[in-house]
């Protein structure tokens, strides 16, 4: 660590009412960090105004917890980045488990000086029904071919993050797509590349896919009306109630 407190990397975990899953996620992150001994890192959990014990659990497990009161994924990720001390930033969703090899690969790519950022192949934590499995395979192909990062795992240099403008706070979904495009453009101008790690090294929760009809409806609404991503009420797939807040009324 330098005299100014800069460390190698910060793992940023935005979380809203994730008391049921946050311990498992942080456990996988800490295990990965313990295997990557050549880099010094920290965990920053962004409590996105949870009404359960998410923040307390995260703090009890050694994470540095910061608060973001506005319920928005982009705002939470940006809040974590502003609090981070690392020269590399890695965003991991609170329902995602990562393998040590994924963290090591991302850090080695960033430390090479040739890679500005990227993402990773997404797999679900359990087998899926036909439609959900087909949509996942389609995303995997699009992600690799178009070099677009899924929000559950995004890595970048802190400099690239700042120069690309961070995550777009005008949208309530698809912010990782727009960030990928901006960071990719910045990387190209600066002689760097944007990489997708095409290996099965992470598992994210399939809970959003439990209602395939709802998932397809959300995709259709956004496809027909792209501006829908600017309204949280129309991005219900990403802002659905957690088990611990089923009686909590959402603002729009």
Q: Are strands 7-15 and 41-47 parallel, antiparallel or unpaired?
A: parallel
pLDDT at 45: 98
Query: Please, which pLDDT band fits residue 235 given cuts at 50, 70 and 90?
Result: low
pLDDT of 212 over the 60 cut: no
Instruction: Name 251's Cβ contacts closer than 8 Å, sequence gap at least 6.
Output: 71, 232
Place of tokens 């090899």: 101
The residue with greater pLDDT, 102 or 229, is 102
Class in CATH terms, 7-205 = alpha beta
Average pLDDT over residues 196-223: 68
Average pLDDT over residues 200-212: 72
Residue 104 phi, psi (nearest 5): -60, -45
pLDDT of 241 over the 60 cut: no
Residues 146, 118 contacting (CB under 8 angstroms): no
pLDDT at 214: 53
CA angle, corner 236, sides to 80 and 173, nearest 5? 45
Residues in a beta bridge with 92: 153
Return mean pLDDT, the chain: 85
pLDDT at 34: 97
Q: Which of 96, 91, 101 is nearest to 36 (CA)?
A: 101
Average pLDDT over residues 194-205: 91
pLDDT at 1: 45
Question: If 0-12 CB within 10 Å is exposed, 13-18 middle and 19+ buried, where does residue 74 land?
Answer: buried
With residue 221 as reference, give the H or E element that holds it.
Answer: helix 212-224
Q: What is the pLDDT of residues 63-86, one digit of tens each?
A: 999 999 999 999 999 999 999 999
pLDDT of 248 over the 80 cut: no
Domain ranges of the chain: 7-205
pLDDT at 244: 42
Separation of alpha carbons 54 and 56, rounded Å = 6
Separation of alpha carbons 61 and 79, rounded Å = 20
Place of tokens 């990227």: 118
Q: How many other CB atoms sit within 10 Å of the CB of residue 213?
A: 8
Q: Alpha carbon 246 to chain centroid distance?
A: 23
Query: Please, which pLDDT band fits residue 6 given cuts at 50, 70 and 90?
Result: confident
Q: What is the pLDDT of residues 138-181, one digit of tens each?
A: 767 888 888 899 889 999 999 999 999 999 999 877 899 999 99
pLDDT of 56 over the 50 cut: yes
């Amino acid at each position: 660590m330098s005299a100014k407190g800069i460390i190698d990397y910060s793992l940023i975990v935005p979380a809203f009412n994730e008391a049921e899953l946050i311990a498992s996620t942080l456990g996988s992150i800490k295990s990965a960090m313990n295997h990557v001994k050549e880099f010094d890192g920290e965990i920053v959990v962004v409590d996105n105004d949870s009404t359960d014990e998410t923040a307390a659990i995260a703090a009890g497990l050694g994470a540095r917890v910061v608060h973001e009161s506005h319920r928005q994924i982009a705002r939470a990720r940006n809040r974590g980045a502003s609090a981070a001390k690392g020269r590399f930033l890695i965003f991991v969703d609170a329902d995602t488990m990562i393998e040590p090899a994924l963290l090591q690969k991302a850090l080695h790519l960033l430390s090479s000086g040739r890679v500005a950022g990227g993402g990773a192949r997404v797999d679900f934590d359990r087998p899926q029904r036909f439609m959900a499995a087909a949509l996942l395979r389609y995303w995997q192909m699009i992600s690799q071919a178009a070099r677009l990062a899924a929000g559950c795992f995004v890595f970048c240099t802190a400099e690239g993050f700042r120069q690309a403008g961070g995550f777009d706070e005008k949208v309530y979904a698809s912010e990782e797509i727009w960030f990928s495009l901006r960071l990719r453009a910045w990387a190209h101008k600066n002689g760097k590349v944007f990489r997708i790690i095409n290996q099965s090294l992470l598992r994210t929760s399939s809970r959003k896919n439990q209602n395939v009809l709802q998932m397809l409806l959300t995709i259709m609404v956004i496809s027909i009306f792209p501006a829908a991503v600017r309204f949280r009420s129309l991005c219900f797939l990403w802002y659905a109630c957690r088990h611990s807040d089923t009686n909590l009324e959402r603002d729009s």
